Structure 1
Amino acid sequence: MIKPDAVERKLIYPILNVIFEEGLCVCFISERIASSDLIFKHYQEHLIANNDIEKRLREYYVDKTVVLAIIKGDNAINRVRKLIGSTDPSLSSKESIRGKWGMDSFLQAEKENRSCRNLIHSADSLSNAIREIKIWFPEFNIHNFIA
């Protein structure tokens, strides 16, 4: 998911180009306005663990544009996560997506009681990728994709 801060800064194509240059396939892509229902389903485990996060998610995502992509390739999850960099942009290597274009940090976000603007999200496992694809693309037949 390319998050609202990256969309607003017109970083969609630069981010996608990094993924293409890695030799990965962007097999499905969609631009959406994020609803509270979809965002809360996506971040369900975080909502359970942290009561304060609902406000932060609502302010960061709801009624804003996100770009969702399904990426395929050998070891795609690990390769994409390496390309993205650390969740905290201030700790990301300068070669990563967050290192190149990130302008925020967890420390600053916490001081301001908001979500960290870290540009992009990627699933951390196949099971989470499947879960997230089912949330955002319920019409997508995931079994044909991973078979």
Structure 2
Amino acid sequence: MTKSQDFIQRSLVVLKPDTVQRGIIGEIIQRFERVGLKIVGMKMIMPDEHLYREHYEGIGQMITRRGEQVFRYNVEYMMTGPVIAMVLEGVEAVPLVRKIVGPTEPKSAEMGTIRGDFSHMSFGYSDAKGTGVPNLVHASSNQEEAKKEIDLWFNANELYDYSDLNEKYTR
């Protein structure tokens, strides 16, 4: 028999340099909190190329899927400023976060999603410009990826287990 606790997931979310530099961190975090997701870890950091290589190729297979040039553009873009890394927890958190964020290409994102409301870049434009796509947020694609990403970005002592009032209504 499946227990309700089996549905509780954690997802890595990274607020990218464009989110930090535009000063919309609070607005984006608020969207996750409003649906009842709980922040169990959060930090501002300036990752080096090694971390991004492990994240985007070691886990996400970006070079394998999209090529070395797209990977380079993305890493160069990510290294333009600090990011906010956080771990969100909640009922089926991974697909819920993806739904809130919207598709990877901002121009394809529906209004009401983070990317649909705060960005409009297309892959074609960014490729022609020779830059990464400023799409505001990284969100884990699935539970397996989320586990690997969280382990890469956070130490166990940076993650917290606590109760919040939302759980009464969202769990």
Q: TM-score under structure 1 normalisation?
A: 0.90
- The secondary structure found in structure 2 opposite 1:81 is helix
What does residue 68 of structure 2 align with?
Answer: 51
> What is the TM-score with the length of structure 2 in the denominator?
0.78
Gaps of 5+ in 1: none
Give the counterpart of 1:65 among 47, 63, 82.
Answer: 82
Partner of residue 25 from structure 1, selected from 38, 42, 46 = 38
Give structure 2 stretches of 5+ with no counterpart: 1-13, 162-171
Measure, in 1, the Cα distance between the counterparts of 2:62 and 2:90. Answer: 28
C-alpha displacement of 1:58: 3.1
**Identity score, percent:** 26
Spell out the pairing of 1:56-95 with structure 2 (5 A cutoff). 56-62=73-79, 64-95=81-112
Across the aligned residues of Structure 1 and Structure 2, the Cα RMSD in angstroms comes to 1.8
Moved runs in structure 1, 4+ residues, more than 6 A?
Answer: none
Question: Which structure has the highest strand share of the two?
Answer: 2
> Shift in Å at residue 141 of structure 1?
6.5
1:125 and 2:142 correspond: yes
Higher relative contact order (CA 8 A, sep 6+): 2
What CA distance in whole angstroms lies between the structure 1 residues aligned with 2:143 and 2:157? 15
